[in-house]
Amino acid sequence: MATETELSKQCVPINKIPKHSVDWVMRVLVIRKGSVISYSNTRHEGTFQTVILVDDEGTKLQATLFNKHIDTWKDFLKTNKTYYIANGLLDRVNPNYTSVHKEIELTITDNTIIRESDHVVSTHNFSNGFVSLEQAEKLPNGAIFDLLCVLVTVNPIIEKGDSKRREIVVTNELMDCTTVTLWGDFALNDGAFLEKLKDDQPILGLCDVRVSIYKGIFGISTLPVSSVLINPIFQKALDLRAWREVIKAEKKAITTTPSKVMRKATEVTLPNIMDGTLADTQGALYKFKAKIIDILNTDEPWYSSYKKCHKKVQVKQHTTTCPNCNIQNVEYEMRYYLRLEVCTGEQRARVILFDAAQMLVGCNVEEYIKTTSENKEECMYYHRLVLIKDKEFNFLVRIDMNNSNPRRSLIAQEIHAIEDEAVIIMSDESKSLTPPTNRGKKSTALERHVLEDKSPIIVEEPQNVRPRRKRSKKSNALHVLEDEAPNIVAEVQSVRLRTKRGKKSNMQQIHVVGEESPNIVEEVRSVMPTTSTSKKINNEHLQIKTKFTKVES
């Protein structure tokens, strides 16, 4: 048996292995180990298992184990660990199936040697391929890409016949929530694990997922070759995590940060809106700053709304009527209806908030009615509502043309305290999108898309929120390289290193996985910055963010 050093010397990057060669050694990090799947077709029946590997160059390769090999290597090829693999069958990809590598895939044979390694596989190149949601949104339907995002919600699994799916909702600092549909194994296993973790709003690295546009709405789906990385530890992911920590420290719901529509809306002044100089385009949205000077219906900021037309229903004894639709016994629900008096200088206006009232109050209307009816004076939501008076807000409104009221009536679709936005909004949409490296890799059936950021408006690159590790003086070339690229250092590792003071850790994690024990949840928690650390990060982050200048959209 070859020693680790010997194996190490023979190691070749995946893309440098000569075609048809059987004499090679690769060193790879496992980013996914799929479930064991049974199959039966006209030719064969049996079981197989798929593993996704990545090497130092960021090249991904799919490995398949069949039948007895699954059991042989059951304690090997574990997610987040590094292995030497030698003497596998490197075959051309089957064009009928998707693959993570455009040309080759690996089959584990009787001759295959697999050995666990202590080596830390660099995720530098691998992490370069990840794009943000706003970059992903520009991709055409069907494009395959790697995404970094923050998990917001996990919906229940839906099973229809043999098909299992589950929707999760993700976001990032500049995007609205986006739905990712997890299929099969991803819905069942990864989805269940994510559900446990969702309150921590983990950062997700979704590898080889696909753009899936339905009815014009941008969405994302997993493929059989996708991988789900939970809390990846490369720099891009840490940057996103730093943003999430800011939001958490501010005790804000990640979903109530200003939406993309809000950020992109044309900014006008309240007099502009009220004097009729703006084009009366139906449905046009305008953004303006104003101070709330009065809440006109503090007592009951809601109404009974017919579920179909949203107009107010009349409830008389046991019959409900929608005067608008002229129908009786209609189904209705309570809906916010908050009327505000706002002003900018001398200019006053009335603004109505329907569902947007939740952004001010902090809970849905049912919760609001319930808690205020129990004890209004002790209800935190009521207090929050009352406290909006005399504060300045950014409003996103549409002008209600159908109102019989001769005064223009403004309906707010979104509202955000200005003090809040100063913290959250960074460089707006122009935040420099770090151009992804041109990997140019293709999956078999579908073109793998690499975004070309032709003319990025570079405002200012954020500094690393985490201090770079000091360069070790006696380190060899590889170590220096790693020190210069802190994104390849596992956070789990760095946390341990900090506590263990210089003891070499054998951990190779590039992310926190959802494979097995519930201890992993604890692991995630332990990795989370402590309050003081996160405060520090926040401050640094904040300073960086406030340095950004706003650029016209």
Residues in touch with DNA (CB under 7 A): 37, 39-41, 43-44, 46, 48, 50, 64, 66-67, 69, 91, 94, 96-98, 105, 107, 109, 160, 163, 165, 167, 181, 183-184, 212, 214, 219, 221-225
Residue 143 Cβ vs DNA, minimum distance, rounded to whole Å:
12
Closest to DNA by CB, 97 or 275 = 97
Residue 430 Cβ vs DNA, minimum distance, rounded to whole Å:
31
Closest to DNA by CB, 221 or 487 = 221
Closest to DNA by CB, 90 or 352 = 90
Q: Which amino acid is at 216?
A: G
Residue 478 Cβ vs DNA, minimum distance, rounded to whole Å:
33
- The partner residues of 451 in beta bridges, in order of sequence, read none
Q: Are 226 and 34 in contact (CB under 8 A)?
A: no
Token pair recorded at residue 8: 């190490």
Closest to DNA by CB, 48 or 548 = 48
Residue 491 Cβ vs DNA, minimum distance, rounded to whole Å:
30
What 8-state DSSP symbol labels residue 198?
G
The tally of CA atoms less than 13 A away on the side-chain side of residue 430 is: 12
Q: Are 322 and 311 in contact (CB under 8 A)?
A: yes
Taken in order 466, 470, 476, 480, is the CA torsion positive or negative? positive
- The partner residues of 86 in beta bridges, in order of sequence, read 25, 113
Q: What whole-number distance in Å separates Cα of residue 304 and Cα of residue 211? A: 39
Residue 167 Cβ vs DNA, minimum distance, rounded to whole Å:
7
Closest to DNA by CB, 7 or 61 = 61
Closest to DNA by CB, 33 or 416 = 33
Closest to DNA by CB, 221 or 231 = 221
What 8-state DSSP symbol labels residue 55?
-
Q: What whole-number distance in Å separates Cα of residue 286 and Cα of residue 268? A: 7
Q: Count of H helices and E strands in the chain? A: 17, 26
Residue 87 Cβ vs DNA, minimum distance, rounded to whole Å:
13
Helix (H) or strand (E) holding 155: strand 144-160
Closest to DNA by CB, 46 or 276 = 46
Q: Which amino acid is at 309?
A: C
The gap from C-alpha 300 to its chain's centroid, in whole angstroms, comes to: 37
Residue 59 Cβ vs DNA, minimum distance, rounded to whole Å:
17
The total of other beta-carbon atoms located within 10 Å of residue 485's CB is: 17
Identify each DSSP E strand in 401-515 by its residue range: 409-417
Q: Shortest CA distance to 182 belongs to which of 195, 197, 164, 208?
A: 164
Residue 445 Cβ vs DNA, minimum distance, rounded to whole Å:
7
